[in-house]
Structure 1
Amino acid sequence: MNTPVRHLPLLAALLLAAVAFGCGQKEIVCPAGGQLRLSVAFEWDKAPGARVEGMTLYFFPEDDGGKIWRFDIAGSEGGAVDIPAGNYRMIAVNNDLPGVTFSGAGTFATFSANAVPAGGDSLLIPTGTLYSAVVDHIAFTPCGVTYSKPDGCSKECPAGLVRCSPDTASVVYNVYIRSVDGLERLKSAVASINGVASSLTLCDDATGSGSGAIVLRLAAASGFPLAGSTSGFDTANAPVTLTLTVVRTDGKAFTKKFNISRHALNHGTAHHVDIYIDEMDIPDYSDSPGDDGDDVDMSVIVDGWNVIEIDL
């Protein structure tokens, strides 16, 4: 009855081999040139109702000599990509916005979104709604993946699945005028917001130093005689002004400019900024604009901008 004893060394060797190649082994390295299948799922809990045509994934290596990988994924649910095992930091952005370009993709820290210039005078094309997500410290091996969630907790998935929650990286700017006297004399009206950042870094949503202006047309909407909406990045580290321009039915234009404090705009936290103007008077036909188009008789009541309301 000593047969089992003779097989103990062989059994022990097999067990040791199984442990060495098990998923608990952190030093497993994918063979050179090999690709592994990684799945990425987008969860829209931070941006409910978001509609995107596609997302682009950028994987920035944390390993020396690693390559940057870029993948386009159709739709909003996610998909699978083939990528070598390694350690990465990932940035995901929607790729369906003609008003946004990307630059600085050579490093994780410099990868930026940029508003497209609309022409002279620092005008910017509205960005549309930009969504972005960052997944940090992705460790991908043949046995699965671990990664850090935004709250700092570590997530592990043997099936090789990364879940990320894109959030809004741009701002919707709304202007509402509650009362307009002389509306019958109005041909058109626009508002421009100057001091909006022209870029932001995607790893931390920090706005760049450059700024420009975004323009929104005003028309009757949502129960207001005049209202308008546009989109852009958050305000930059620069003075922020709102300029109202109205064109009377006789073709004469009037403008009024106001300074808006960055404190009132709640810089860095708002996804929506609503600016309410209580009253505006369209100048009578007997009034003419000055040489620069600015007319002091164009009355606008905003209560010192205390009526600015921020929708977070």
Structure 2
Amino acid sequence: MKKIFHAAAAAAVLAAATSCEHKDLCYDHSDAVDVEVVFDWCNAPDASPESMSLYLFPAGGEALRYEFTDCRGGTIRVPVGSYEALCLNSDTENVTYRNAECRETFEVTTRTADLLSGLSVLGVLSDGVPRVDGTESERVILPPDMLWSDYAESVELKPTAGTPTVTLSPEMSICRYTVEIRNAANLKYVSGISGSLSSMAESLYPGVGCDATCKTGATIPFDAAVSADKSTVTGELFAFGCPSARKTHTLTVYAVLSDESKWYYTYDVTDQIHSAPDRRDVHIVLDGLPLPKPIVNGGGFQPDVDDWQSVNVDIEM
């Protein structure tokens, strides 16, 4: 929704003055004004970021950035003029910014990640790890931090008798995905397990909207955990959502067993993601993870522990 803020000039008395003293004051306008910035958390009442950034984009000029340690806002001094505005929390570790010169091109993405970071303690390397067909070229990225943002298309700042106020209402700008794989077999033999979700949006344009994602897909790894009763695998990750170009989303589970064999399971979760009741809080539920029982005492077939054994798991609809 387009938002317009006006800090109207209240200088009629000065304009009507005729004495030299008052005339000097009339022409001695300040080039900047104090502005009260208010971050209204009505759209995210539970949010409490440690810091916020406000970007003001003047027409034809360089963007101005203001930092707030109080998530409710504060007072800043701004050159008079017309601006577009963007705010987002800055207490993040994984996110990076690109093309930050304009509101509409301001892009939030994250740093490149290791696909098997969750298995690094076992010395398992990502080199040569199989990828889902068609996603081999996708960048592997860290999941974004929690992000809240809002923007305004027009902010008019002029000299005024009082302090003008600019109010922005940040809302949750990323999506949360939880994963639950029930009836998993032989989890007691698992030495390490992790997952990834393919073809998620690589970046977000918060100055356009919380749904304004790029067309490029990225793969996001996540840590997985085994339940106490050794029957369920769970995981959780944040993402920017789905790319603006519709893609197929594959959930992959990487598991290393006690015999050092490595197993790779894929599930097509496109329908669960696209048909979720709440696109910002998606719960993916899968049934069955057919991990084998490790081979002991040389009996039976033992795979090469240096190779990944691939298994595609069909989902019953």
Whether the TM-score (by the shorter chain) exceeds 0.5 is yes
Is the aligned partner of 1:234 residue 2:241? yes
208-217 vs 220-229, greater mean Cα deviation: 220-229
CA distance in 1, matches of 2:28, 2:222: 55
Separation (CA, whole Å) in 1 of partners of 2:141 and 2:12 = 62
Query: Kindly tell me: are residues 276 and 263 of structure 1, through their superposed partners in 2, closer, same or farther at Cα, counting changes over 3 Å?
Result: closer
For structure 1, the 5+ residue unaligned runs are 1-15, 22-28, 145-157, 305-312
The CA deviation at 1:210 is 2.4
Which residue of 2 is the match for residue 244 of structure 1?
253
The CA distance in 2 between the partners of 1:30 and 1:103, in whole Å, is: 41
Q: 1:249 to 1:32 in 2, by over 3 A?
A: farther
1:53 correspondence with 2:40? no
SS at match of 1:199: coil
SS at match of 2:294: coil
In the TM superposition, residue 248 of structure 1 has moved relative to its aligned partner by 1.2
- Partners of 1:275 and 1:201 lie apart in 2 by 26
Q: Does 1:303 align with 2:316?
A: yes
Report deviation, 1:134: 0.6
Aligned to 1:257: 266
- For residues 85-164 of structure 1, the aligned pairs below 5 Å read 85-119=80-114, 122-143=139-160, 159-164=163-168
> Contact 1:175–1:229 at 8 Å: present in 2 too?
yes
* Higher Rg: 1
Change (3 A) 1:85 1:170: same
Q: CA deviation at 1:280?
A: 2.1
Tell whether the 8 Å contact from 2:34 to 2:163 is kept in structure 1 after alignment: no
Deviation per residue, 1:232-272 (Å, 9 max, x gap)? 211222332111112111111111122332684359x7222
Report the residue type matching 1:110 in the other structure. T
Deviation at 1:57, TM superposition (A): 0.7
Shift in Å, 1:288: 4.6
The aligned residue for residue 6 of structure 2 is: none
Please provide the CA RMSD for this pair.
3.2
Matched, 1:213 2:219: yes
Q: Which amino acid aligns with 1:161?
A: T
CA distance in 2 between counterparts of 1:221 and 1:166 reads 36
Q: What is the TM-score of this pair, normalised by structure 2?
A: 0.73
2:13 partner SS: helix
Cα distance between partner residues in 2 of 1:262 and 1:73: 41
Return the offset for 1:190.
1.2
| 2:268 partner amino acid | N
TM-score (norm 1): 0.74
Q: Deviations over 1:177-229 (max 9, x none)?
A: 22222222222221100111211212224111322211112114699732111
Aligned residues with identical type, % of pairs: 25
Cα-to-partner distance string for 1:96-126 (whole Å, 9 max, x where unaligned) = 2111011112122111111111157721112
Cα separation, partners in 2 of 1:303 and 1:61, compared to 1, 3 Å: same
Q: In the comparison of the two structures, how many residue pairs are matched? A: 266
Q: Which runs of 5+ in 2 are unaligned?
A: 1-10, 17-25, 116-135, 296-300
Post-superposition shift, 1:285?
2.1
Q: Note if contact 1:218-1:226 (Cα within 8 Å) is conserved in structure 2.
A: yes
> Is residue 182–residue 283 contact of structure 1 (8 Å, CA) maintained in 2?
yes
**Structure 1 residues 265 and 222, CA, compared in 2 at 3 Å: closer, same or farther?**
farther
Show the counterpart of 1:12: none
Q: Report if the CA contact (8 A) 2:273-2:279 is conserved.
A: no
Please give the alpha-carbon distance, in whole angstroms, between the structure 2 residues aligned to 1:222 and 1:185.
Answer: 13
SS in 2 for 1:270: coil
